[in-house]
């Protein structure tokens, strides 16, 4: 799952190094507009709905966090 998300996001946002930090939000690498785009990409790719309460730093700080969120929402 992590690899698939990494490939998707790297294609959408080639200027962002998603593997260079485990604190993508905390370090200011991802802004609110980028997070909105990531939500859209994940929704379209995986057929999930990301509820408001899932939009928190721990889910978006790393590819691992995103993968855990997607897997949880697919279940």
**pLDDT score of 57:** 94
Torsion (CA) 15, 1, 36, 16 in degrees, nearest 10: -10
pTM: 0.93
Confidence at 10, pLDDT banded by 50, 70, 90: very high
22-62 pLDDT, tens per residue?
999 999 999 999 999 999 999 999 999 999 999 999 999 99
| C-alpha neighbours within 13 Å on the C-beta side of residue 16 | 26
**pLDDT score of 11:** 97
Greatest pairwise CA separation for the chain in angstroms: 31
């Amino acid at each position: 799952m992590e690899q698939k998300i990494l490939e998707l996001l790297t294609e959408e946002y080639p200027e962002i190094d998603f593997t260079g930090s485990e604190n993508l939000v905390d370090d200011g690498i991802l802004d609110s507009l980028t997070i909105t785009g990531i939500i859209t990409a994940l929704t379209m790719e995986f057929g999930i709905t990301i509820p408001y309460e899932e939009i928190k730093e721990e889910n978006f700080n790393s590819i691992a966090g995103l993968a855990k969120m997607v897997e949880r929402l697919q279940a």
